[in-house]
Each structure stands twice: as structure tokens, then as C-alpha cells.
């Protein structure tokens, strides 16, 4: 049984029994719960501030493990990047050189890494700098690996076409040149025989009697058969594919027509003295990817090393071209 409560009345100097109505009881109950709630919240905050729950400890350990894994992943990606860089260098400086393919430009290998910030959604994460750095590194390596894989696809095709390419490269002399006696003038600056000024000679001259057979120096298709009163007079251009073309000038007569397929050693015409020429000879040029190159670099099919050195010396010592 609840004991009755009394309070002192100073006016009557008597103790008066305290009567509690429902409203007062509810007010006291609400005050009690409010104070209890505030105390509970305060104690919870203090506890969480100084003490870690098992779940918090577990999440922290998991976060540390993830951070360690990202660091290891980034280190592994750097190792992969070194291997990929080595493959790229060997590809450009060895494999593509062997198959006469141009190196892949750096602008292609490194392209496509700018523009929109695709990592914006990661910026709100803890350790976002490490996560973004790793994600970016992975993207860069993936794109470079794709470019390298396409390069190897091209090299595989070139390897399958290697036999055809070797037959197409202009690798022999365009006239019969026993003892190299017909080597008249080589690549480089020469005195023009007509204008008597120093000009660059973009080919090689081979002196020979009119009517001497001229050979295609590699397999290919006749691209042009032309005649003029100046310049090369009568000349033929052969497209060998793989970026190679050859030009044969000052002919006396043609033996091919445009579109005709020829083999290395096929007779395509005969030595003459047509056009701007000071004597019967063949002017011969080699073009790679549209640019004239020194023909003497391509006589590896029919010259020994000793003959090659002698041919270079003969072509270099002549101070005047024949056209």
C-alpha cells in the first residue's frame, strides 16, 4: 500500500496531506522518462567516444585489410606496367623492325586517358586518393595492353605474310652487274651532268649498253609506264606492296604494261638513253612509304658482304651522276 505524503502548511502551521491528481502524475512520469532518455543518450555518446564496440573493431580491421590490399594491388600494377613497357620497347625496336613495320606512335599508346572524371563517385570514400590512383593505373594498363595486343595481331599477320614480303622487297640489282663494273653513280649529292651544279641524286645509276635487260627487283604489280622527252624519258614504276615501290628510268623500250604482275628477275624493259641523260644507263630508285631511300641498303639477295662493301665504295666515289 502506497504511503500517504504530507507537506507543511506555514499558514496553518499544520501538515496537510498531499493529494495527487492524474495530470500531476502524468507530468512527473513524463519528466522521469525525459531525464532518463537524456541520461541514456549522454552515456551512450560517452561510451562510443571512449570505447569501441565489437562491430566497430571488426569494421576497422576490415578497412585496414582493404587499404593494405589496395597498396599491394598498386605495387603489382607498377610491376605489370614495367613488363608492359618492356614489351612495347621490344615491339617497336625489334619485332616491328624485323617485319618492316613502323613503330606505334606514343600518342596512340598513351591516348584516351583524359576527359571526364570517371572516378568522381570514388571521391567520397575513405582513402579515396589511394583507391582512385589504383583504379586509374588499372585503366591505363588495360588500354595500353589492348593497343599492344592489336600490335601483336598485326605482327602475326605480317609473320604469315613473311614469305610473300621477302619475295616482294626489292633485294637485287636491276641489271646484270658482274664484278660490279656497271655501278656508275650512287645516292647523295652529285654534280648534275647538264646544269653542272651540286644536286641530290635520289637513286643509283648503272651504265650499260642500250638494249641491256632491266629486271624487276622484287615481286609486284606494274603501277605506271610513262614516256616524256625530259626527266626519266621512258620509265616504269612497280608497286611491290608492304610500302615499297621501285622506279626504272631512261629505258629504250618497255616489256610490261600497267597492271601486269611481275616476279623478281622478270624483264620489264631495256636500258636506253631517253630523257635527261648523258649516256646509256639505268636510273634506279627505291621508295618506302612514299619516301625515296638509298637503294644500296637493299642488295642483300645477290651480293656477298665483300661485294656489298665494294659496291658502296664505287657508288660513293663517283662525283657526277648520269642524269
Nearest CA-CA partner of 249 in 227, 264, 266: 227
226, pLDDT greater than 80? yes
Confidence class of residue 133 from pLDDT cuts 50, 70 and 90? Answer: confident
Nearest 5°: phi and psi at 136? -65, -40
What is the predicted pLDDT for the residue at 284? 94
pLDDT for the residue numbered 112: 62
d(CA 7, CA 13): 10
190's grid cell: 652529285
Cα dihedral sign, 260-264-266-268: positive
Does residue 19 register a pLDDT over 70?
no
DSSP at 229: S
Residue 69 pLDDT = 79
Is the confidence at residue 186, as pLDDT, over 60? yes
Q: Cell digits for 116? A: 571526364
Report the range of poorest mean pLDDT among 58-72, 210-224, 277-291.
58-72
- Phi and psi torsions of 272, nearest 5°: -145, -160
Identify the H or E element spanning 86.
Answer: helix 54-90
Q: How many CB atoms lie within 10 A of CB 244?
A: 23
pLDDT at 27: 77
Query: For the segment 146-173, what is each residue's pLDDT rounded down to a tens digit?
Result: 888 888 888 888 777 778 888 899 989 8
Please tell me the distance from the alpha carbon of residue 209 to that of residue 212, in angstroms, as a whole number.
6
Residue 1 pLDDT more than 60? no
- Return the top range by mean pLDDT from 7-11, 32-36, 156-160, 255-259: 255-259
Residue bearing the bigger pLDDT, 151 or 223: 223
Name the phi and psi angles at 55, rounded to 5: -70, -40
Q: Where are the beta strands (DSSP E) in 4-92?
A: 6-9, 14-17
Write out the three cell numbers for 25.
502524475
Which residues lie below 8 Å from residue 182, measured CB to CB, with a gap of 6+? Answer: 175, 176, 206, 207, 208
DSSP 172: S
CB 295 within 8 A of CB 187: yes
**DSSP strand pairing (291-293 vs 234-241):** unpaired
Domain boundaries in the chain? 6-50, 54-160, 178-317
Asked if CATH classification 2.70.70.10 holds for the domain at 178-317, the reply, yes or no, is: yes
Query: Cell triple for residue 115?
Result: 576527359
198-201/188-191 β-pairing: antiparallel
Average pLDDT over residues 103-113: 76
pLDDT exceeding 70 applies to what percent of the chain?
84
Average pLDDT over residues 194-198: 69
Residue 137 to residue 120: CA distance in whole angstroms: 15
The three cell numbers locating residue 3: 504511503
Sign of CA dihedral 98, 300, 260, 207: positive
Average pLDDT along the chain: 81
Amino acid at each position: 500500500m502506497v504511503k500517504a505524503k504530507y507537506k507543511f502548511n506555514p499558514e496553518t502551521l499544520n501538515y496537510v496531506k498531499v493529494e495527487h491528481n492524474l495530470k500531476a502524475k502524468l507530468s512527473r512520469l513524463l519528466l522521469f522518462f525525459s531525464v532518463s532518455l537524456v541520461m541514456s543518450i549522454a552515456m551512450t555518446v560517452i561510451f562510443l567516444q571512449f570505447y569501441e564496440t565489437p562491430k566497430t573493431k571488426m569494421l576497422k580491421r576490415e578497412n585496414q585489410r582493404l587499404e593494405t590490399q589496395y597498396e599491394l594491388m598498386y605495387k603489382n600494377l607498377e610491376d605489370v606496367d614495367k613488363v608492359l613497357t618492356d614489351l612495347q620497347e621490344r615491339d617497336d625496336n625489334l619485332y616491328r623492325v624485323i617485319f618492316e613495320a613502323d613503330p606505334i606512335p606514343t600518342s596512340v599508346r598513351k591516348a584516351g586517358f583524359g576527359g571526364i572524371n570517371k572516378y568522381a563517385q570514388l571521391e567520397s570514400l575513405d582513402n579515396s586518393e589511394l583507391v582512385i590512383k589504383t583504379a586509374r593505373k588499372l585503366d591505363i594498363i588495360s588500354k595500353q595492353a589492348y593497343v599492344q595486343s592489336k600490335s601483336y595481331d598485326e605482327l602475326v599477320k605480317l609473320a604469315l605474310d613473311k614469305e610473300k614480303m621477302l619475295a616482294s622487297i626489292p633485294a637485287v640489282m636491276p641489271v646484270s652487274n658482274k664484278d660490279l663494273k656497271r655501278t656508275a653513280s650512287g645516292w647523295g649529292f652529285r654534280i648534275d651532268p647538264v646544269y653542272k651544279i651540286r644536286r641530290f641524286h635520289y637513286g643509283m645509276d648503272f651504265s650499260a649498253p642500250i638494249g641491256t635487260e632491266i629486271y624487276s627487283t622484287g615481286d609486284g604489280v606494274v603501277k605506271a609506264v610513262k614516256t616524256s622527252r625530259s626527266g626519266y624519258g621512258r620509265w616504269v614504276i612497280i608497286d611491290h606492296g608492304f610500302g615499297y615501290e621501285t622506279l626504272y628510268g631512261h629505258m629504250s623500250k618497255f616489256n610490261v604494261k600497267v597492271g601486269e604482275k611481275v616476279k623478281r628477275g622478270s624483264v620489264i624493259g631495256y636500258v636506253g638513253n631517253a630523257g635527261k641523260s648523258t649516256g646509256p644507263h639505268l636510273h634506279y630508285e627505291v621508295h618506302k612509304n612514299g619516301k625515296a631511300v638509298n637503294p644500296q641498303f637493299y642488295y642483300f639477295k645477290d651480293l656477298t658482304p665483300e661485294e656489298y662493301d665494294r659496291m658502296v665504295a664505287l657508288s660513293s666515289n663517283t662525283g657526277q651522276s648520269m642524269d
